[in-house]
Amino acid sequence: MKIRGSRLGMTVALLVSSAWIVLSGTSSATLEHQKQAKAAGVDAKNCQTCHVDKLPKKDAHELNDAGKWLMAEKDKRKAKEVDGAWLKDYPGKK
């Protein structure tokens, strides 16, 4: 009986930890933004095109100047989401 209970506890712990890993902290930017930027001719190699961190987390991401500019453009254009193609109009470093 004791072995059955410990197996159940281990199974529950494994499921909870697996769910935590899968569902926690995903990137705030999507690959779609990067694809849009590349399609527009922008040299967007990775997330650091717009973010400070190499792999930004959804709940903790810091934007660099290009990312801040994109967010301002989103507000200015009253868009629902950022479009990576807007980076072709970014006035900063190219």
Task: Give per-residue pLDDT as tens, 5-36.
Answer: 677 777 877 776 666 555 444 334 578 888 89
> Does the predicted model carry a pTM greater than 0.85?
no
Domain containing 52 equals 26-89
Q: What is the pLDDT of residue 25?
A: 40
Per the domain annotation, does 73 fall within a domain? Answer: yes
CB 78 within 8 A of CB 49: no
Per the domain annotation, does 94 fall within a domain? Answer: no
How far is Cα 25 from Cα 28, in angstroms, rounded to an integer?
9
Per the domain annotation, does 83 fall within a domain? Answer: yes
Per the domain annotation, does 8 fall within a domain? Answer: no
The residue among 34, 52, 31 whose CA lies nearest residue 43 is: 34
Q: Count up the domains in the chain and report the number.
A: 1
For residue 71, is it left (φ>0), alpha (ψ between -120 and 50) or beta?
alpha
Q: Which amino acid is at 13?
A: A
Q: Could you read off the pLDDT of 22-72 as tens digits, one per residue?
A: 544 433 457 888 889 999 999 888 888 998 988 888 777 899 999 999 999
